[in-house]
Chain A
Amino acid sequence: MNAPFNISSYASIRGRKVTLNGQHLYEGSHTEFSEFIKAAYKALGVKYPKFFKMDNLSKLAFLTAEVLLKNENLNLEADNNIAIVLSNRASSLDTDRAHQASIQDKDNYYPSPAVFVYTLPNICIGEISIKYKLYSENSFFIFDRINTDHLFTSASNLLETGKADQVLCGWVDFDSDSYEAFLYLVSEKEGKPHTNQQILKLYNT
């Protein structure tokens, strides 16, 4: 059976590399994520000051989405029925720890509102939605590892039921020194067949 939908493009950030459709866009030598992602942001010519206020997970998700969606040359007023389905393993644990550290000592109790607002993993979807003016369906799932079957089913349902024209899907995980983002866009546009096997193949590329 032919897949009715296609993966029109995909992007990843992992191992100090940023790629789009299999092509390397940027490679850094930084060992710290904060330094790497800042250098990548500047090298890729992104202009969005709010980026620096985001937590690590949102920076990772936002920049990967930015690489992918910028290449789509979207009309922000018309092409905004893009649903988002993301997933990861560590939820918002990195930021949860930072918040916990700020409330650990009762005599030095100064929780940061700017940290607290990122103590949910789906906030990164909000950051992407704000930039691209998306008022669409979205969800964030937690799995031990990328669950291509679940992503495939979710995206297919959204497209088949007309809830979205396109779906931005993938895996965005950040925990301590470990980070990995892999996003792809599914729609009726030309591209690679949207199948479970194809998602896994692109993820492993």
Chain B
Amino acid sequence: MEALKQELKENIIEQLNLEDMVVADIADDDMLFGDGLGLDSIDALELIVMLDKNYGIKLTDPKEGRAIFESINTMAAYISENRTK
């Protein structure tokens, strides 16, 4: 699980172009949206694509994303339970 969390942080920084951020800046329970990392709606769509491309998870209901993308902890837990690759 820790390896997955590390991988998620690296992918988020790279794919969402968080230029001034490093892995150590993201705590496992930091809010990804709002007052946390400050991600926006386009970032949310990128995260949905990332789930599909990297882990074979298709979110059919975008509303599910709200809970899944709350933090690195929630993302890692959801991916661990639902990944197909």
Residues 50-71 of B contacting A (Cβ, < 8 Å):
52-53
Cβ of B55 to closest chain A Cβ, rounded Å: 12
The DSSP consensus for interface residues of chain B is: helix
Residue of B nearest to A111 (CB): B49
- A53 and B49: CB pair below 8 A? no
A interface bracket (residues with beta carbon within 8 Å of B): 10 to 19
Cβ of A140 to closest chain B Cβ, rounded Å: 21
B46 interface residue, CB < 8 Å from A? yes
Contacts of A49 in B (CB 8 A): 18-20
Contacts of B46 in A (CB 8 A): 112-114
Distance A111 CA – B43 CA, assembled complex (angstroms): 13
Distance A117 CA – B52 CA, assembled complex (angstroms): 20
Given contacts A110-B52, A112-B49, A113-B49, contact A52 B42 (CB under 8 A): no
- A110 and B53: CB pair below 8 A? yes
Residue of B nearest to A47 (CB): B20
B interface bracket (residues with beta carbon within 8 Å of A): 10 to 19
Cβ of A128 to closest chain B Cβ, rounded Å: 18
Given contacts A112-B46, A113-B46, A114-B46, contact A52 B17 (CB under 8 A): yes
Residues 48-82 of A contacting B (Cβ, < 8 Å):
49, 51-53
25 sample A-B contacts, Cβ–Cβ < 8 Å, listed by A number:
A38-B19, A49-B18, A49-B19, A49-B20, A51-B19, A52-B17, A52-B18, A52-B19, A52-B20, A53-B16, A53-B17, A110-B52, A110-B53, A111-B49, A112-B46, A112-B49, A113-B42, A113-B45, A113-B46, A113-B49, A114-B17, A114-B42, A114-B43, A114-B45, A117-B42
Binary A-proximity of B33-54 (CB < 8 A = 1, otherwise 0): 0000000001101100100110
Cβ of A75 to closest chain B Cβ, rounded Å: 26
Known: A49-B19, A53-B42. 20 other contacts (CB 8 A): A38-B19, A49-B18, A49-B20, A51-B19, A52-B18, A52-B20, A53-B16, A53-B17, A110-B49, A110-B53, A111-B49, A112-B46, A112-B49, A113-B42, A113-B45, A113-B46, A113-B49, A114-B42, A114-B45, A114-B46
